[in-house]
Amino acid sequence: MPTNRPSDEPATHRRARRKEARPGELIEAALHLFVEKGFAATRVEEVAAHAGVSKGTLFLYFPSKEDLFKAVVRENIAGRFTEWNEEFEQFTGDSVELVRYAMQSWWERIGMTPASGITKLVMSEAGTFPEIAAFYQQEVIGPGHALIRRILQRGVDRGEFRDLPLDYAVYSLIAPMIFLLMWKHSMAPCCPPSHQLDPVSFIDTQVDLILRGMLKHPRP
Amino acid sequence: MPTNRPSDEPATHRRARRKEARPGELIEAALHLFVEKGFAATRVEEVAAHAGVSKGTLFLYFPSKEDLFKAVVRENIAGRFTEWNEEFEQFTGDSVELVRYAMQSWWERIGMTPASGITKLVMSEAGTFPEIAAFYQQEVIGPGHALIRRILQRGVDRGEFRDLPLDYAVYSLIAPMIFLLMWKHSMAPCCPPSHQLDPVSFIDTQVDLILRGMLKHPRP
Amino acid sequence: MPTNRPSDEPATHRRARRKEARPGELIEAALHLFVEKGFAATRVEEVAAHAGVSKGTLFLYFPSKEDLFKAVVRENIAGRFTEWNEEFEQFTGDSVELVRYAMQSWWERIGMTPASGITKLVMSEAGTFPEIAAFYQQEVIGPGHALIRRILQRGVDRGEFRDLPLDYAVYSLIAPMIFLLMWKHSMAPCCPPSHQLDPVSFIDTQVDLILRGMLKHPRP
Amino acid sequence: MPTNRPSDEPATHRRARRKEARPGELIEAALHLFVEKGFAATRVEEVAAHAGVSKGTLFLYFPSKEDLFKAVVRENIAGRFTEWNEEFEQFTGDSVELVRYAMQSWWERIGMTPASGITKLVMSEAGTFPEIAAFYQQEVIGPGHALIRRILQRGVDRGEFRDLPLDYAVYSLIAPMIFLLMWKHSMAPCCPPSHQLDPVSFIDTQVDLILRGMLKHPRP
DNA sequence: TATGAATGAGCCTTCATTCAT
DNA sequence: CATGAATGAAGGCTCATTCAT
């Protein structure tokens, strides 16, 4: 009777599980390294080493370094939008709260996780991988854009927000997120502590200001 | 009848003039190629060819590819800030106008020029070239940050703006600029026309919203 | 019927064996080429070719051309001295015999082998590779010096040699060896047969003269 | 009326003198650099700089780096041998004194001067310049060899020295000189002070020992 | 003559990719 | 499936040499 201790599992199972886990482990390792050092500066051997396999094995799962990159992006775009759509659909509070909640959620679920590196990665390497960038636009940016737009529309419809030029107003929320994420993954590591940004305060302040600009009847 | 066109100048002068022109030509070529293809994917030979010289000549002026990169960064920001500081110092209109003017100026003088690619480049390659990132932080981000801060402070001092948390409020103006620039150099080229962003409208709208959020007595 | 000849061994083993043999093969090839053409004039590709591998393979075993050089030096001196020290420690004959034996041994084990090219190489390239020269001084010259000094001391202690100024007397034995080796690897190949030196006779004659100068009671 | 102040000389003269001095200055600079760093590691630009001229000027006088090398050697072999031959011919003291004088002279006139670098240079680069090595053998080694041989022959003829095997005995005097010179130009700069060699003491001691070995009636 | 800007062949080194085991 | 030794194309950089001025 199998126990819970991994070491007691039949080796066959363990191997099999590992076998299936391999690509994931490689993608995980690649994500971290690509984000940290960029595509060109990351060596496949390093990725393999971080995943605990040999260089040859990597090429068993990914025909080339570029394919690995594509897989990293594809694997990390996670269709979270249907889930979020529903969540926000059922939201009953006022739109100020909803915007605040949305932004904080984004930070907690994406911004502060390694997944945020993906966006940095895609934007950085868009020139080298236009195909990927387009794909990302379609799968992530587009839906995200739509989601935010729906949130703002709700505020306008409920008479909470002014009559906003939605096509551009969405960017008032997107821009701070993108900025935060680029900052975190590029300049932050090179800046002295005095220039560091506290992400939560940052988001709070930005949202505060933006909402004030959006509200039909700004409170004093 | 000889004209003043360079090609007609005596050859004697051409060499000397070229010597002084070379670094500039190389930096110009490097700017375009680095922005277009990224640092790693650009070969020095290519840069040299675009500047109309041989590979060896490039190394006559720049000790290494990385130094060329630094020169590109340096050349495209030097002195801009002292000029701007003075300009804003002498501004006599109200602070709403000043903010609008500052943002539009930025777009015209940096955002819409190839120089904007520099920032994208630095953020993308920051991981690989921390030294460059630090340099950029010191020479560009820092002064820019200070400049914006002064502008906002002016608004507060003159009773036009609310009492803003300046440390974060500066990012309300910085974030849209960085976002616009990242977008332009990464996703934009891969997006269908329907998703394109008109930079001037974008800035107008953002500034509008932000100012509304900042004003002590928002107008209806 | 399979024999033991390498070419008949199962291919399976060949790779593994080669892996261990590679560094040695490369060092061997490098020794010959460095000695023949000098360090700078030898291309790593050539070394690799002589060892029957590709350029890349060389860098699999040696991080740089300079490290290859170091390995060549290291490989051709290691451990010789402990062996010799013991040998001379156990020597029972008189000191004249010991000196003769030592010098002849040196010729047979170093002087006449390609390893003698190393010393020429190190002395020639010392200016360019001070690190190597220092290493050589420490690992070869120092121990060799000490060994000879012990031999002479023995002669003095046993009353066979005069009271020699040992610090300088050691060079009476070292100088002819160094000279012979420099000569062999530099001028000899360019000299007409009439000027060639017979190494064994050379050593015999030098030792003869030197011993005569060292003996307390020179024989007629 | 011309004064002694150089600055008052007609420029034409000065230029003309410099013009004729150029090759010599270049050779002088090259000698130092070749000796110090070896042929390959010395850049022609450096040589030119040390001679106070531009790189282009060097090629005005020497068609190639190799030709410069050859000129350095040729220029520095100075047919001093006829002079020395006469000097020794007229020597009236005993042969022990003569040998001592010859060796000390060599050190003072060659060994301690930059000219000693030539021998080091030729031996080091003999492999790359066999032609030069042969030339050196003919012009320097040969005559030097003959000169020493004559000195020893004198000692034998005068009954001061034993009946020496002259063909090899000459090397008893040559070897210490060559060794000293190689040492000085290769290992010495890399050795700790404790391992430094005092050249004058070195020669004294060596000559002492060698003479003792050569004398028919060694003194106690 | 003298200059020094320009050249480009050549070399060391890296690293994605292959393949025999 | 997994390994890791081997490959070789590619790229940064050097430097002897040329040549217009």
The CATH architecture one would assign to domain A77-211 is Orthogonal Bundle (1.10)
Who among residues 21-40 of D has its Cβ near strand F, under 7 Å? none
In this prediction, residue B13 has a pLDDT band, given cuts at 50, 70 and 90, of very low
For residues D38 and C125, give the distance between their C-alpha atoms in angstroms, rounded to a whole number.
Answer: 7
- Whether B and A touch, i.e. at least 3 CB pairs below 8 A, reads as yes
In this prediction, residue C19 has a pLDDT band, given cuts at 50, 70 and 90, of low
- C110 CA to E9 C1', in Å? 39
pLDDT of residue C81: 81
pLDDT of residue D48: 97
Average of pLDDT values for A108-137?
90
Q: Which residue would you say has higher pLDDT here, C2 or C220? A: C220
In this prediction, residue B12 has a pLDDT band, given cuts at 50, 70 and 90, of very low
For residue C114, pLDDT over 80 is answered with yes
CA-CA-CA-CA dihedral for C194, C200, C202, C208, to nearest 10: -150
Query: What pLDDT digit, counting tens, does each position of D54-64 carry?
Result: 999 999 999 99
Query: What pLDDT digit, counting tens, does each position of A57-77 carry?
Result: 999 999 999 999 999 998 887
pLDDT of residue C220: 60
Most A CBs within 10 A among B119, B182, B201, hence the mutation to make, goes to: B182
Beta bridge partners of B161: B215
pLDDT of residue D11: 41
Mean pLDDT for each 10-residue chunk of chain D (220 residues)? 40 49 90 92 96 96 96 83 89 96 94 90 91 89 93 97 96 97 91 88 97 87
Cβ–Cβ < 8 Å for B215, B96: yes
Burial code (b: 16+ CB inside 10 Å, e: under 16) for C140-154 equals bbebbbebbbebbbb
pLDDT of residue B76: 86
Q: Is the dihedral of CA B90, B92, B94, B100 positive or negative?
A: negative
Who among residues 37-66 of B has its Cβ near strand F, under 7 Å? 42-45, 55-56, 59, 63-66
For residue B29, pLDDT over 90 is answered with yes
For residues D70 and D122, give the distance between their C-alpha atoms in angstroms, rounded to a whole number.
Answer: 10
Cβ–Cβ < 8 Å for A177, A111: yes
For residues A89 and B24, give the distance between their C-alpha atoms in angstroms, rounded to a whole number.
Answer: 56
Q: Write down the pTM of the prediction.
A: 0.86
DSSP secondary structure code for residue A141 in this structure: I
Query: What pLDDT digit, counting tens, does each position of B59-74 carry?
Result: 999 999 999 999 998 8
For residues C95 and C155, give the distance between their C-alpha atoms in angstroms, rounded to a whole number.
Answer: 5
Three-class secondary structure assignment of chain D: CCCCCHHHCCHHHHHHHHHHHHHHHHHHHHHHHHHHHCCCCCCHHHHHHHHCCCHHHHHHHCCCHHHHHHHHHHHCCCCHHHHHHHHHHCCCCCHHHHHHHHHHHHHHHHHCCCCHHHHHHHHHHCCCCHHHHHHHHHHHHHHHHHHHHHHHHHHHHCCCECCCCHHHHHHHHHHHHHHHHHHHHCCHHHCCHHHCCCHHHHHHHHHHHHHHHHECCCCC
Task: For residue B57, give how far its alpha carbon lies from the nearest alpha carbon of chain A (Å).
Answer: 26
* Range ranked top by mean pLDDT from A53-62, C81-90, C123-132: A53-62
Q: Domain map of chain C by residue range?
A: 6-74, 77-211
Which residue type sits at A201? S
For residue A9, pLDDT over 60 is answered with no
Contacts of B144 (CB under 8 A, 6+ apart): B81, B174
For residue B85, pLDDT over 50 is answered with yes
Who among residues 70-129 of B has its Cβ near strand F, under 7 Å? none
Q: Which residue would you say has higher pLDDT here, C191 or A32? A: A32
CATH class assigned to B6-74: mainly alpha
For residue A120, pLDDT over 70 is answered with yes
User: Nearest-CA neighbor of C179 among C126, C109, C106, C125?
Assistant: C106
For residues A38 and A32, give the distance between their C-alpha atoms in angstroms, rounded to a whole number.
Answer: 10
Task: Return the H-helix or E-strand segment holding C85.
Answer: helix C80-89
Contact: D134, C210; criterion CB under 8 Å:
no
pLDDT of residue C3: 36
What positions of strand F are covered by protein, i.e. any atom < 7 Å from a CB?
Answer: 1-21
pLDDT of residue A18: 57
Q: Which residue would you say has higher pLDDT here, C19 or B38? A: B38
Beta bridge partners of D161: D215
pLDDT of residue B53: 95
pLDDT of residue C82: 82
Tokens describing residue D70: 């050859």
Indicate yes or no: strand F within 7 A of the C-beta of C53: yes
Query: What pLDDT digit, counting tens, does each position of A152-202 carry?
Result: 999 999 999 999 999 999 999 999 999 999 999 998 888 888 888 999 999
Contact: D175, C171; criterion CB under 8 Å:
no
